[in-house]
Structure 1
Amino acid sequence: MAVNMAQASASSQITAQDQQALRQVWENIQPDSCPYSYNFHMHTIHSDGQLTPEELIDQALAIGLKGLAITDHHSVGGYKVAQNWLEQLQEQTFLDSSPSTCVPHLWTGVEITSDLLDTEVHILGYAFDPEHPSIKPYLQGKAPKQSDAQAAAVIRAIHQAGGLAVLAHPVRYRRSAEELIPVAAHLGIDGVETYYAYNNPTPWQPSPNQTQRVKQLSATYNLLNTCGTDSHSLSLLKRF
């Protein structure tokens, strides 16, 4: 039991440090931060993406990302493979004495289907402990049902696991961002995916009108701003 308690304490400490580091990044996020410096919304073959986790990390290195999160639907399988791949790369970089190779920071991430104001929305979780019992039910490869799907329950589970909760692409739903974001803020959401390319342009860039609307709401409700390509394709630089 003492060993388990020590492991839990160490895990909580790491998660808290990870969350604080991520919060600092988001506090300074800019419209051009994504997709060449940071990317917080990507999918692998562990949900509905086309890239393997290893391919995703290799692209992240080629792009020069400083930090990223894999946000597969209801799974951290891709994150775990990617984390192992990154650790191997870090070890190889150390052995090769190649300081020019910058290995990005990988945060835990997940995208959870949820219900907010009787509307299906997606809530992104970041920097949480994937082994925490509160988040485990949401990492089983399928969408939650009934009370577990309520936004309040999803946000609570992410927080209990030490993470940050973000409303994904808030201008893509049946209800408006002006309706959803205030309620999400009341429920304790930490941030909104402010910089998002709704019409999937090439090259990737945040949609200006939607971005302005979400930025105003995030400022009103003191929420963090995030960015991501929501990549499902073979390129991290676009959605599809």
Structure 2
Amino acid sequence: MKVLFNSINPYHKNNESKIIKPACVPANESCLTDSASSLKALANYNLSTISFKSRNKEFQADEYRRELAKHANCSAQDLKSVVGSNELKKVLRDKLTQENFMPGEDDINIKKGIFKANLHNHTIYSDGEMTVQELLDRACNYASRIKSNVYVALTDHNTLKGSQEAIKIIGQNPEKYENIKFVPGVELLAKYRWPDHNPDEPPANLEMLAYCINPFDEKINDFLEKNKKDKHTKTALEEIFEVLNSVPGIYSLAHPGRVTLPKNREMESFMEGFKNNGGNAIEAYYSYSESTEKSDENYSRIAKDYAEKMGMLKTGGRDSHRHTIFHRD
């Protein structure tokens, strides 16, 4: 490092104001050797740092699966199809694009195998019609047809029981589900009040999706049980994140086009409040109605702009409630 420092500051003055040469100058062969060694050492250090970070993420993923395996009567290796938060973050940043989340006109993306992710599904554990087994099998069959991994999340309202069942099913037959990537999750109703709100001002109403949390976590399940009595109960956003922020996860604002704001409040300030409390993603790719997919492009564009401006991840889903992973109805 000393050679590198001298190469940046090649000359300095001594007390007699005489300019002297540094110990090594570029013409000196030993200096070049030392510089090359220093650069090589620096490169190796950077590679080691990257390697450590990669190993640390793998360790966290293994720890996540090991914790899940304790409750599923299987090994962590059997749960390779279950996605942790670091893996999902990387996929959302680097791999999945808008067309991977959308069926396209006349289902063209499904027919061509471009559709590869639905991170918003409901089963019979809340207000959906599919069983958990059906959800997994439909994703599995589609993945086999297109010969590619398919990402599918289970996001029932106020309950993680479906995700618990899914993990147990995968753990008992890992080979069958090796082509899918299952994301445990839950959908929550919430309300948000601005720090400077007055008592008469109504809150913003929203729904959010929590991904890659431990569906067997006792604290989270106790919290959900309190809210499950009424599917339409709206809990303060701060209270939700007090529970969720104790575990790693991805927390996405669901269908932002449906957020209701009080008068004189802007979406941008709401998004800042959502992020400041712990939100780190926006459901940018979403069809609000099967018959209005073109108009949904405007919602998607706005949501993507917010996500990029605020450094948040972009998620997407079909909000499936029927016997399909491709559509809402």
TM-score of the alignment, normalized to the shorter chain, above 0.5: yes
* Cα deviation code 1:178-232 (max 9, x no counterpart): 3532221122211010101112249x78921001101111111111100110101
| CA distance, structure 1, for counterparts of residue 156 and residue 119 of structure 2 | 11
Structure with the higher helix share, 1 or 2: 2
Per mean C-alpha deviation after superposition, the further-off stretch among 103-112 and 131-140 is 131-140
1:230 paired residue number: 319
Per mean C-alpha deviation after superposition, the further-off stretch among 131-140 and 41-50 is 131-140
- What TM-score results when the alignment is normalised by the length of structure 2? 0.61
| CA distance, structure 1, for counterparts of residue 231 and residue 244 of structure 2 | 14
Runs of 5+ unmatched residues, structure 1: 1-8, 94-100
| CA distance, structure 1, for counterparts of residue 116 and residue 232 of structure 2 | 36
Cα offset for 1:104?
Answer: 1.0
Equivalences, count: 222
Q: Any idea what SS the aligned residue of 1:33 has?
A: helix
Runs of 5+ unmatched residues, structure 2: 1-58, 68-82, 103-114, 144-148, 194-202
Q: Is the 8 A contact 1:11 1:129 kept in 2?
A: no
% identical aligned pairs: 24
Q: Is the 8 A contact 2:123 2:130 kept in 1?
A: yes
1:124 paired residue number: 209
1:106 paired residue number: 182
Q: Any idea what SS the aligned residue of 1:27 has?
A: helix
2:97 paired residue number: 30
Amino acid at match of 1:214: A
- What TM-score results when the alignment is normalised by the length of structure 1? 0.81
Question: Which runs of structure 2 are paired with 1:1-240 in the superposition (5 Å)?
Answer: 13-14=63-64, 18-28=84-94, 29-34=96-101, 36-64=115-143, 65-91=149-175, 93=176, 102-117=178-193, 118-140=203-225, 141-142=228-229, 149-175=235-261, 177-201=267-291, 207-240=296-329
Cα offset for 1:129?
Answer: 1.7
Q: Is the 8 A contact 2:164 2:216 kept in 1?
A: no
| CA distance, structure 1, for counterparts of residue 209 and residue 128 of structure 2 | 16
* Cα deviation code 1:5-59 (max 9, x no counterpart): xxxx999931798110011111133111225311111000000000000011111
| CA distance, structure 2, for counterparts of residue 10 and residue 210 of structure 1 | 35
| CA distance, structure 2, for counterparts of residue 10 and residue 21 of structure 1 | 10
| CA distance, structure 2, for counterparts of residue 197 and residue 114 of structure 1 | 21
Per mean C-alpha deviation after superposition, the further-off stretch among 186-195 and 63-72 is 63-72
- Using CA pairs below 8 Å that are at least 6 residues apart, which structure has the higher relative contact order? 1
| CA distance, structure 1, for counterparts of residue 178 and residue 316 of structure 2 | 21
Q: Any idea what SS the aligned residue of 2:260 has?
A: coil
Q: Is the 8 A contact 2:185 2:209 kept in 1?
A: yes
| CA distance, structure 2, for counterparts of residue 213 and residue 152 of structure 1 | 25
Amino acid at match of 1:126: Y
Q: Mark the CA change 1:151 to 1:143 in structure 2 (over 3 Å): closer, same or farther.
A: farther
Q: Is the 8 A contact 1:121 1:173 kept in 2?
A: yes
- RMSD over aligned Cα atoms: 2.9
